[in-house]
Amino acid sequence: MIGVINRLMFDFVEQNWGSEMSARFRKESQSENVDFRMDVYYPDVEWQQQLDVAIRLTGLDKEALVWAFGRYSGEVLTRQFSGFITGATSARDVITRQPRIHNTLALSFTEEAHRKTINEKFRLEEFPDHTVVHYVSPNKLCAFYRSLAQWVADSFNETIEIIEPVCMHRGDHECEIHVRYLGKKTTGDIS
């Protein structure tokens, strides 16, 4: 796991539930003295423990928490890392950029095993009117990716359709996230 996601989760908890909850979250997830970095690989099991603690403390189910966290992350990532969205003219530009950025970040890791683990999480297929993201991770954060994609579409005032016919939560070996691009929202569209 790339440390930026861990750090974002702590910020997300503090932003939505306050500093006392954030301190409790850090303590209960055994991360009080950890400064999560983007250039350091953190074991997936550590992230899973943090997510379990966040679910327990917030009272949200996993899908709801991860969905809200994805939208929050979209907002923060585009402010902190403007390259995430710079030059993009459509939701598709950003949605297809995310797996590429993720895989490029792996280059900063010195251990081959860590680079391989990060690179194997995402594979992208592009078609004229849609993309398919193949996602494999013990974290099973497909809801995060779907939420981030929806946030991006909303930011560009576009309509997308997301389906996931294959999902690790249903016992499949990977998640297959299909994003169909339906164009600009019209006045009557309700999101």
Mean pLDDT on 161-180:
97
**144 close to 64: Cβ distance less than 8 angstroms:** no
Q: Is the model's pLDDT at 45 over the cut of 60? A: yes
Fold of 3-184: H-NOX domain (3.90.1520)
pLDDT digits (tens, 9 = 90+) for 52-71: 999 999 999 999 999 999 99
Q: What is the pLDDT of residue 149?
A: 94
Hey, which residues does 177 pair with through a beta bridge? 133
Which residues lie closer than 8 Å to 3 by C-beta, 6 or more apart? 36, 37, 38, 39, 40, 41, 42
Q: Report whether 157 contacts 81 (CB < 8 A).
A: no
DSSP the chain: -BHHHHHHHHHHHHHHHHHHHHHHHHHHTT-TT----TTSB--HHHHHHHHHHHHHHH---HHHHHHHHHHHHHHHHHHH-GGGTTT--SHHHHHHHHHHHHHHHGGG-SSHHHHHHHHTSEEEEE-SSEEEEEE--TT--HHHHHHHHHHHHHHTTEEEEEEEEE-GGGT-SSEEEEEEEEEEPPTT---
Task: Tell me the mean pLDDT in the region 61-88.
Answer: 88
CA dihedral 138, 143, 149, 151 (to 10 degrees): -130
pLDDT at 86: 79
Rg (Cα) of the chain, in Å, rounded? 17
Q: Tell me which of 74 and 113 has the higher pLDDT.
A: 74
Share of the chain above pLDDT 90, in %: 61
- In this prediction, residue 34 carries a pLDDT of 86
Interval 129-137 mean pLDDT: 95
pLDDT in tens, 93-104: 988 887 777 767
